[in-house]
Amino acid sequence: MLDMDPGIRAQWTAALRSGEYRQGQAVLRSINDRFCCHGVLCDLAEKAGVIRAHKTPDDWAYDGEDAYLPEAVMDWAGITDASPHVNVPSSMEDDPSLTSLNDDEEWTFDQIADAIDGGAA
């Protein structure tokens, strides 16, 4: 299980499983509103008033970040790594980062939510 605030973990995994977010890769949120798993957490932080998003010519940025979790989101969620790792089986590495699961292995949001909750996808 990812070490973070349990209430925010529950919000994040529910949002990932909700079907509300279209999955994308390489940026937190693309110009056509596709989110990586971290982008979903940033969107929740924006809705909670923790950070602000702004549209750039190429994508969206949260507190100036477009690829990694901003410091304010990490503090709010109780996460200590801008690209957190989870303990799940992966073809690429032991304890893969959520970034690699989302972008390189193209795990679904449901699988990523399971990994965040501590279960293997």
pLDDT in tens, 21-58: 999 999 999 999 999 999 999 999 999 999 999 999 99
**Is residue 1 a part of any domain in this protein?**
no
Single-letter code of the amino acid located at 70 = P
Query: Quick one: tokens of 104?
Result: 């390189």
With respect to residue 49, please indicate whether it lies within any of the assigned structural domains: yes
What the block records as the tokens of 20 is: 């509300």
Does the predicted TM-score (pTM) go above 0.85?
yes
Q: What is the pLDDT of residue 36?
A: 97
Give the mean pLDDT of 7-25: 97
Q: Is residue 121 part of a domain?
A: no
Q: Is residue 99 situated within a structural domain?
A: yes
Q: Let me know if residue 39 belongs to a domain.
A: yes
Average pLDDT over residues 93-103: 86
The amino acid at 7: G
Considering the domain boundaries, does residue 98 fall inside one? yes
pLDDT of amino acid 121? 45
The whole domain housing 67 covers: 6-115
Give the count of domains, the chain: 1
**How many residues can be counted in the chain?**
121
